Amino acid sequence: MREEILFNTVLLDEIGSKKSTVKVLEFYLEDSPKYLLDFERLMFEKDMPGIINKAHKLKSSLGMLKAELLVSLLNQLEAATKELNFDKLQELFDLLKAKLQLLDAQLLLQIKQIKDSY
């Protein structure tokens, strides 16, 4: 069974060159560990407004990558936060974390493939 590709660079490809696509992907990857650390801290602190704010900001970045599954997870995470459903919130966060790590691996592979095609 083939793993699901969590992104699509069609928007990036339309607005720039391969090199600019690589730069955007690298920029996202540079910030990715910080997103996870911030999310983990906010979850630990049960900082509901902070979680909603972080989810909203991350949705913008992931929207550019057409990472629709991750955007959907963030929407669900925001809803669970507003409902104060801590069990659902933790479940969604754990899934989000795993998917973000998979996305990072996929983006690294994509960058390598693009660079190999220069």
d(CA 32, CA 34): 5
At residue 11, the pLDDT reads 80
d(CA 103, CA 118): 23
At residue 51, the pLDDT reads 95
Which DSSP string corresponds to 30-64? HHHHHHHHHHHHHHHHT-HHHHHHHHHHHHHHHHH
Which DSSP string corresponds to 56-110? HHHHHHHHHTT-HHHHHHHHHHHHHHHTT-HHHHHHHHHHHHHHHHHHHHHHHHH
Residue pLDDT tens, the chain, 118 long: 567 899 998 888 888 889 999 999 999 999 999 999 999 999 999 999 999 999 999 998 899 899 999 999 999 999 999 999 889 999 999 999 999 999 999 999 999 999 999 8
At residue 1, the pLDDT reads 57
At residue 2, the pLDDT reads 66
pTM as predicted: 0.90
At residue 93, the pLDDT reads 96
Long-range contacts of 14-19 (CB under 8 A, 24+ apart): 18/114, 18/117, 18/118, 19/118
Domains and CATH numbers, the chain: 10-112 (1.20.120.160)
